[in-house]
Amino acid sequence: MEIINAVGRRKAAVARIYLKPGTGVITINDRALENYFPTTTLQYIVKQPLNTIGVLGNFDVKVNLFGGGVKGQAEALRLAIARALVKLDADNKPALKAQGFMTRDSREVERKKPGQPKARKQFQFSKR
């Protein structure tokens, strides 16, 4: 089997992954998963698609990850892994879609407007 690549995005984070048969090693920017995402919650988010299908120890994942914060990066990586698993076998799609892993979360940060302290907050109005 050849190497399967996929892209996942979330907020400002972009994850490009390469999935190949192996022993379950996940390498992110030449670092181990446990070093890159030290919290168990983020590690769980990354492994969710593999756990859903039950192939956690069957594939090695090499990841190029940049942009955004840690949570956005973890969710971008989750989307990329889910897309790669669907490329590998189309029968995986219903199970992953039911869990919500195939949907790209399109919410982005709204830009700050001039004359306001934040995107929507406004300075206190003074009539006189």
Domains of the chain: 4-99 (3.30.230.10)
Q: Which strands make up the sheet holding 4-10, listed edge to edge? A: 4-10, 13-21, 59-66, 26-28, 31-32
Q: What is the spatial distance between Cα 117 and Cα 74, in angstroms, rounded to a whole number?
A: 30
Q: What is the pLDDT of residue 2?
A: 87
pLDDT at 1 over 80: no
**pTM higher than the cut 0.85:** yes
